[in-house]
Amino acid sequence: MTREQVKEILDRVLSWPSARQADIARIVEVMEEQDKSPLRMSEQDATEVRRRLAEPNPKTSSFAEFSARLRRRYGV
What's the pLDDT tens digit per position in 16-33? 999 999 999 999 999 999
d(CA 46, CA 63): 20
d(CA 33, CA 74): 40
d(CA 67, CA 30): 28
Q: State pTM to two decimals.
A: 0.53
What's the pLDDT tens digit per position in 56-70? 777 777 888 889 989
